């Protein structure tokens, strides 16, 4: 087992307010983590550190065995796949889906070269099929539905064979069918031993894909609970994290939570 991410005593303070407060957390290469917590808990801030897009105020962050602050972050970022609504906003509407995926191999957005290596073209075709995008390969990004866009962004993120894949609320704004389709794909991807370590931020236990192994629960910038999902994703920990009591059920690996009457 290899640590892909390790936060030790991490605090992140802005305007004298601790947004993350004494966070200790480690992700190993075979693990798939869900990060759960209410609005403002610090989930996106945590991803900013994990993607080497910011630095902690105190404590240490090691990403892929490199200590933030002592490493070339551009080299590090090439080894990390990241999907968020902000990454989606940077994609030109006219970009063809095939090029969106293919150009990831060259770390560019927008088609820039008429000649790609065969190995990259084959890899892109395989990934497009894997994420159910083969029929959309010649469509432009701007014409895709929200669900298709999310799958296209994930396909782009995995094109470079990242060692760590971070997803910030991938199923937010999707309709029920699109959400379920995406969760099935994420579940299959999470279960593959060839997939990288994964971290997915979500607000809803219903969006936890079966196959994810661990959960980190954050409240007010502090770790409320962290560990294997079966033992850690409990009604007690949900209440401690979201500040209200829930009835929690699990069926076929899918969780559902409703407030206690
Ligand atoms: N650079 C910053 N300066 C000041 N406040 C910040 C900064 N970054 C984040 N915050 C604040 O820190 C808190 C945590 O933000 P963050 O986006 O990490 O939470 P989150 O758990 O992702 O929330 P949500 O679920 O609503 O997306 C919020 O109250 C936010 O306003």
pLDDT digits (tens, 9 = 90+) for 124-157: 999 999 999 999 999 999 999 999 999 999 999 9
The pick from 44, 47, 220 for probing ligand 1's pocket by mutation, whose C-beta has the most ligand atoms within 8 angstroms, reads 44
The interface predicted TM-score of the complex, written ipTM, equals 0.95
Rounded CA separation 64/73 (Å): 11
Res 119: pLDDT: 84
State in Å: Cα 224 to ligand 1 middle. 17
State in Å: Cα 200 to ligand 1 middle. 17
SS3 259: strand
- Range of lowest pLDDT (29-38, 73-82, 144-153): 73-82
Domains belonging to the chain, first-starting first, are 1-79+164-178+194-261 (3.40.50.300), 91-161 (no CATH)
pTM, two decimals, is: 0.93
> 53-90 burial, b for 16+ CB within 10 Å, e for fewer?
eeebeebebbbbebebeeeebeebbebbbbbbeebeee
Q: Which residues contact ligand 1 via a Cβ below 6 A?
A: 14-15, 19, 37, 39-45, 203
Asked if residue 61 lies in contact with residue 50, where contact means CB atoms within 8 angstroms, the answer is yes
Which whole-number Å values give the CA distances from 231 to 28, 36, 222, 236, in the listed order?
18, 15, 19, 11
């Amino acid at each position: 087992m290899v640590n892909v991410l390790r936060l030790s005593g991490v605090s992140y303070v802005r305007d004298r307010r601790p947004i993350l407060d004494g966070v200790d957390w480690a992700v190993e290469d075979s693990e798939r983590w869900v990060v759960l917590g209410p609005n403002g808990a610090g989930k996106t801030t945590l991803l900013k550190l994990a993607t080497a897009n910011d630095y902690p105020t105190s404590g240490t962050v090691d990403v892929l065995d490199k200590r933030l602050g002592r490493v070339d972050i551009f080299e590090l970022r090439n080894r990390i796949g990241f999907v968020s609504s902000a990454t989606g906003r940077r994609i030109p509407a006219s970009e063809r889906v095939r090029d969106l995926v293919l150009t990831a191999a060259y770390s560019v957005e927008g088609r820039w070269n008429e000649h790609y290596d065969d190995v990259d073209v084959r890899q892109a075709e395989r990934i497009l099929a894997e994420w159910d995008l083969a029929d959309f390969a010649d469509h432009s990004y701007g014409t895709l539905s929200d669900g298709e866009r999310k799958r296209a962004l994930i396909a782009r993120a995995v094109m470079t064979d990242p060692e760590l894949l971070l997803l910030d609320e991938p199923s937010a704004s999707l309709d029920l069918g699109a959400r379920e389709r995406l969760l099935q794909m994420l579940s299959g991807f999470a279960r593959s031993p060839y997939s990288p370590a994964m971290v997915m931020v979500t607000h809803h236990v219903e969006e936890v894909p079966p196959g994810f192994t661990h959960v980190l629960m954050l409240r007010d910038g502090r770790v409320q609970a962290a560990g294997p999902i079966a033992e850690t994703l409990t009604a007690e920990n949900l209440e401690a994290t979201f500040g209200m009591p829930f009835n929690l059920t699990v069926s076929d690996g899918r969780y559902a939570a409703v407030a206690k009457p």
